């Protein structure tokens, strides 16, 4: 018996860093959506755990205990052969490893009929793992333990771009000039009113964007390319980078911009998407 699970790209539409605790952990307030592109996990019962990585982004993905997929298996104590079909770039700010771990947990829970995993165990895998257990527009706060599905869906045509550089998360947080930035407002917009919702998003931030650009200036080039693409209504970096997104009015406008960007930057990872 095998079970499959989808591991969607996690996109931080906003990311506000609101505090740094005495223990060094940063508190966040982030609006997260999940895209219709991602990795795929297949699990099969086995006497011993093993991991096979396939797919166009398989190169360089670790297959030892450092992989969050194997850490998730160890956490549940449910041995399996896992196939990770990798389509998302690693260390890209779109939750690839965390989403893979969450998908593994969902698949193993179904395969072995296990109880739900508790929050402390999920956080032990990583701050993004709890939110990656969700599948729709979600507000993530605290160190990742406050996860609130908010209903509705940010169902906009989007382009994701990763310039194929790695941005180390720790140094980006350390480079923040201010750790006590304002949180998002309590009241969120009506997501069915696209114009109002995009206007509201434009008034919010990703506080990690500037230190990430300092670490990898090409991120600024990506954002500028998105802003200048025809029909882009908003561009922003996701997570700690380097992946950035652009929002577009409709799929026709998006697809036209996609072709232009792919021609101009053939060595970048440039893909169309929208909410899953």
User: What amino acid positions are annotated as catalytic residues?
Assistant: 10, 128
> Whole-angstrom Cα distance, residue 159 to residue 75?
35
Exposed/middle/buried for residue 269 (C-beta within 10 Å: 0-12, 13-18, 19+): middle
> Whole-angstrom Cα distance, residue 258 to residue 134?
28
Where helices occur in the chain by DSSP H, the ranges are 68-76, 96-112, 119-125, 129-132, 169-174, 194-202, 209-215, 218-228, 251-264
Edge-to-edge order in the sheet of strand 244-248? 232-237, 244-248, 158-162, 269-273
60 Cβ contact partners less than 8 Å away, ≥ 6 residues apart:
90
Cα Rg, the chain, nearest whole Å: 18
Exposed/middle/buried for residue 276 (C-beta within 10 Å: 0-12, 13-18, 19+): middle
């Amino acid at each position: 018996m095998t079970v499959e699970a989808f591991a969607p790209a996690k996109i931080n539409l906003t990311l506000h860093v609101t505090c740094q605790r005495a223990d060094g952990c940063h508190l966040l307030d982030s609006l997260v959506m999940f895209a219709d592109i991602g990795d795929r996990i297949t699990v099969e019962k086995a006497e011993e755990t093993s991991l096979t990585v396939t797919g166009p982004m398989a190169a360089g993905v670790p297959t030892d205990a450092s992989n969050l997929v194997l850490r998730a298996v160890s956490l549940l104590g449910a041995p399996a052969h896992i196939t990770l079909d990798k389509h998302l770039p690693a260390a890209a700010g779109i939750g690839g490893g965390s989403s893979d771990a969450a998908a593994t947990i969902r698949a193993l829970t179904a395969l072995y009929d296990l109880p739900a995993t508790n929050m402390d165990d999920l956080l032990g895998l990583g701050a993004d793992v709890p939110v990656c257990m969700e599948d729709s527009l979600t507000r993530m706060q605290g160190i990742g333990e406050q996860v609130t599905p908010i209903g509705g869906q940010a169902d906009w045509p989007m382009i994701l771009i990763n310039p194929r550089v790695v941005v180390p998360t720790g140094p980006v947080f350390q480079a923040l000039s201010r750790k006590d930035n304002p949180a998002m407002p309590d009241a969120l917009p009506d997501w069915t009113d696209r114009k109002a919702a995009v206007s509201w998003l434009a008034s919010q931030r990703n506080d990690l964007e500037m230190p990430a650009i300092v670490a990898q200036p090409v991120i600024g080039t990506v954002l500028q390319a998105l802003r200048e693409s025809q029909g882009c209504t908003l561009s922003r970096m996701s997570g700690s980078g380097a992946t950035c997104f652009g929002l577009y009015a409709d799929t026709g406008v998006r697809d036209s911009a996609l072709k232009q960007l792919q021609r101009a930057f053939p060595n970048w990872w440039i893909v169309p998407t929208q909410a899953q």
